[in-house]
Chains A and B, each alone.
Chain A
Amino acid sequence: GAGVSQSPSNKVTEKGKDVELRCDPISGHTALYWYRQSLGQGLEFLIYFQGNSAPDKSGLPSDRFSAERTGGSVSTLTIQRTQQEDSAVYLCASSLVYGELFFGEGSRLTVL
């Protein structure tokens, strides 16, 4: 498709389970970002990938969170041993190196 694609759009899981969220960026965009949107915290930066450089993980809230980007394209955000406070909408965005961010529609995670 033409835009950033995220899956699943909705995920309900039980506390303690691991979840994986996927992002397929716009073709040709070298930069990829993950943000988290929650009621209490607004929009928070999580992680940034640029080409083959080491990712900037400075926004990840704990070591339960990790992300990878394979082949410079698709990215997976993994949350291990989910907690209720992880419930949020996880937004992925991509851009050219110096370009505007284009966001996906997000993956809504609910941890019971």
Chain B
Amino acid sequence: AQKVTQAQTEISVVEKEDVTLDCVYETRDTTYYLFWYKQPPSGELVFLIRRNSFDEQNEISGRYSWNFQKSTSSFNFTITASQVVDSAVYFCALSESVRPGYALNFGKGTSLLVTP
């Protein structure tokens, strides 16, 4: 069963638009970690954020923000005022281990294209 669902396969926006990437997860564990990674065309996965299941505070980092809601098992990612350099594939991932990076279950990714 898919543990992480990213329903949006591809999103295309024009520069300066805001865009939200959805992530829904499934787990029975009470301790788990959620991640977002960015994969630019170079192929290297770049870590963006890690949240543990006990911390539902939303987080903002520059133009990036994350909305974690346990009630809906979602961990959505918003890019404000998107830029061309944001074009990449974004992956949401779940780790059900006490070791936060262990055996990540990745979603299938959302390909974001930002055009000028």
Residues of A within 8 A of B (CB): 3, 31, 33, 35, 42-43, 45, 48, 56, 58-59, 89, 91, 93, 95, 97-106
Binding site for A on B (CB under 8 A): 35, 37, 42-47, 50, 91, 93, 99-109
Main secondary structure of the interface of A (DSSP, over half): strand
- Bound complex: CA of A81 vs CA of B93, how far in Å? 31
Once the chains bind, are B43 and A89 in contact (CB under 8 Å)?
A: yes
Give complex CA distance A95, B104 in Å.
13
- Are B101 and A43 in touch, CB under 8 angstroms? no
Chain B residue nearest in CB terms to A33: B101
Q: Is the CB of B45 within 8 A of A97?
A: no
Separation in Å of the B104 CB from the closest CB of chain A?
A: 7
Known contacts A45-B104, A48-B103: A106-B44 contact under CB 8 Å: yes
CB–CB B43/A106 < 8 A: yes
B100 and A98: CB pair below 8 A?
Answer: yes
Report which residue of B45, B99, B103, B108 has the largest number of chain A beta carbons within 10 angstroms of its beta carbon.
B45
**CB <8 Å contact, A103 and B101:** no
With beta carbons under 8 angstroms apart, the residue of B47, B107, B108, B109 that contacts A101 is B47
Rounded to whole Å, the gap between the CB of B11 and the closest CB of chain A is 17
